[in-house]
Amino acid sequence: MVDAVVVGAGPNGLAAAIELARNGRSVHLIEGQDSVGGGTRTAELTLPGFRHDICSAVHPLAVGSPFLRTLPLGEHGLELIEPSVQAAHPLGDGTAAVLMRSLEETADSLGADARAYRSLMGTFASHWDRLAEFVLAPLTRPPHAPLLAARFGSRGALPATLVARARFRTPHGRALLAGMAAHSMRPLEAPGTTAFALVMLSLGHACGWPIARGGSGEITLAMARHLESLGGTIELGRPVSALAELPEARAVLFDVTPRQLLEICGEELPRRYSRSLARFRYGPGVFKIDYALSGPVPWTAPAVRAAGTVHLGGTLEEIAASEKAVNRGEVSQAPYVLVAQQSLDDAARAPAGQHTLWAYCHVPNGSSVDMTEAIERQIERFAPGFRDLVLARETRSPRQLEAENPNYVGGDIGGGATSLWQTVARPALRANPYQTANRRILICSASTPPGGGVHGMCGFHAARAALRGPLR
């Protein structure tokens, strides 16, 4: 019998297994796919020699993660590369708002909004470590830095549209905030959306928005190697459909969402808890395209040509309209598009002189609409001539994403909707959200706090809960 079985080798399952193993517990990790990584894997999806990030691409949350920072992932082959422009947001007039590593440079680039930017972001950007202690943890835990938490809460709780209009006068300042807030996948008029922008911008200044040399998969491969060096074992190609299939263990940690947890362990969970899991809501889905290109994207705005990440969609009003449509269950014909240009800074991603491009937009959960034309129209709008460079493309609809990874229910890449209620009660309202109502069973996926992203913090907190609980 092992101390713990972990089901699912995404960044959170790996993080949970590592935290248990480094605390002396025996751990066996079981993954349904033939490779580790979940949403953090890389493959040649289009043409030979073009390496694409299948899901996650840009890693501010990994480099800013209080847990991942403690792991010797460099010794296991991981190298992070920071672009010279962390993120850019082109406007229709050939200019762009930019997120630079330096707060001063970012503020200065916003012209008349320089002071407003410094005043909004200064404190958060210079205190990321203390901010991370509560934004990357369950909200039910009292913060160590109550004043900082109060400052963050009073601003973050507001709708992004309100903060953008109240604080900024230029289209650049407003669009920059909108593009960051839209990572929430919620209408920008919704309370709490500013918190997403504050976190993304703070990370940009404090930690950068890096990519992994060779591909995002190198992050989870390094985690898997580290786990094995600690004595943990990994079994691939074994999708789990019932608790009874698992080896005997004192605790089982599931890197799955509530829907799968109910399918796998329903019989073992008290009815009241199962009912609250059944009420868990999933958010919008995504439609993704990976490109092999014959050259770099000819962005009109020069700053965008050096950016690791690009937010497309234009003004605050345009982005708010597209996110509102998606949350109403409609497809936006002028979508907010997230783009990553990994091959600009990492020669390992494409043959010499050629490039990869990673792009996705938000769509209603489970949508079957092909967004290729709408996404390419947005890229062409800010980079005329883009289409002439396309050597090959591969698209992924919400249904395809879910077929490849059951955690992406209806194409929701964040493990569940980010409504205010599900920020507090994720996956259900409990003092310890990782511990289910069955003491032996824990949940450690992005459906627990702090939610989606490659930070491993859900897995870390779940492992700590197991160490305080069944593995004590």
Interface ranges with ligand FAD (CB under 6 A):
7-13, 30-33, 38-40, 55-59, 61, 239-240, 255-256, 260, 286, 288, 360, 401, 405-408, 413-415, 445-446, 452-454, 458
* Minimal distance, residue 147 CB to ligand FAD, in Å: 28
Minimum Å distance from CB 317 to ligand FAD?
25
Q: For residues 7 and 17, give the distance between their C-alpha atoms in angstroms, rounded to a whole number.
A: 10
Which class for 453: exposed (0-12), middle (13-18), buried (19 or more C-beta within 10 A)? buried
Q: How far is the CB of 257 from ligand FAD (least distance, A)?
A: 8
Structure tokens at 105: 């440079």
Strands 285-293 and 211-212, bridge-based pairing: unpaired
Angstrom CA distances, 390 to 296, 297, 348, 369, 385, stand at 10, 10, 19, 21, 10
Residues pairing with 442 in the sheet:
253, 435
Nearer to ligand FAD, 37 or 171 (CB): 37
Q: How far is the CB of 347 from ligand FAD (least distance, A)?
A: 20
Backbone φ and ψ of 401, nearest 5°:
-60, -45
**Residue with the CB atom nearest ligand FAD in the bound state:** 10
- Closer by beta carbon to ligand FAD, 188 or else 454: 454
Nearer to ligand FAD, 55 or 297 (CB): 55
Of 358, 415, 380, the closest CA to residue 185 belongs to: 415
* Tokens matching residue 158: 């507001």
Q: How far is the CB of 405 from ligand FAD (least distance, A)?
A: 5
Nearer to ligand FAD, 107 or 466 (CB): 466
- As a whole number of angstroms, the distance between CA 101 and CA 206 comes to 7
87 vs 401 by CB, closer to ligand FAD:
401
Residue whose entry in the numeric block shows the structure tokens 């193993």: 21
- Nearest CA to 245 out of 222, 216, 265 is that of 265
Nearer to ligand FAD, 90 or 414 (CB): 414
Smallest distance from ligand FAD to CB 447, Å: 7
Q: How far is the CB of 337 from ligand FAD (least distance, A)?
A: 12
- Cβ atoms within 10 Å, residue 207: 23
Compare residues 300 and 435 and give the one whose CB is closer to ligand FAD. 435
Q: Tokens for 266?
A: 């329903």
Closest CB to ligand FAD among residues 125, 261: 261
Nearer to ligand FAD, 39 or 204 (CB): 39
To the nearest 5 percent, what fractions of the chain are helix, strand and coil? 40, 15, 40
- Per-residue b or e along 397-428, where b marks 16 or more CB atoms closer than 10 Å to that residue's CB: bbeebbebbbbbbbbbbbbbbbbeebbebbbb
Residue 209 Cβ vs ligand FAD, minimum distance, rounded to whole Å: 9
CA distance 215 to 332: 30
Please report how close the Cβ of residue 130 comes to ligand FAD at its closest, in angstroms: 21
